[in-house]
Amino acid sequence: MAIDTRAESADKPSGEKKSRTTPALFYRQVVNELRKVIWPTRKDLITYTTVVLIFVLIVVGIVYALDWALGELVLRVFS
């Protein structure tokens, strides 16, 4: 579904200069889009946060292990 975001019609020739959206129209569009958002419940938010934190900890562990292993390899090769 296409929505015209400007006050005028979108079928102007490409040579004409397009006018800017007014702040009031922009605000109305923002409010309209925020009404469409399905906000997560507290339980969902806690679950998503926990999953993200665990994933970040795993990635940090992998990066740390690779950094340590490559550091040891470099020290053994060049010392």
Which residues form the domain of 63?
39-78
Q: What is the pLDDT of residues 11-42, one digit of tens each?
A: 556 667 778 889 999 999 999 999 999 999 99
H-only helix segments in 1-79? 23-36, 42-78
Whole-prediction pTM: 0.57
Domain assignment present for residue 74? The answer is yes
CA distances from 71 to 14, 60, 66, 76 (A): 58, 16, 8, 9
Query: What is the tally of structural domains in the chain?
Result: 1
Which residue is associated with the tokens 């109305």?
Answer: 28
Domain assignment present for residue 45? The answer is yes
Q: What is the pLDDT of residues 33-77, one digit of tens each?
A: 999 999 999 999 999 999 999 999 999 999 999 999 999 999 999
pLDDT at residue 8 tops 90: no
Domain assignment present for residue 58? The answer is yes
Domain assignment present for residue 71? The answer is yes
Domain assignment present for residue 31? The answer is no
Domain assignment present for residue 49? The answer is yes
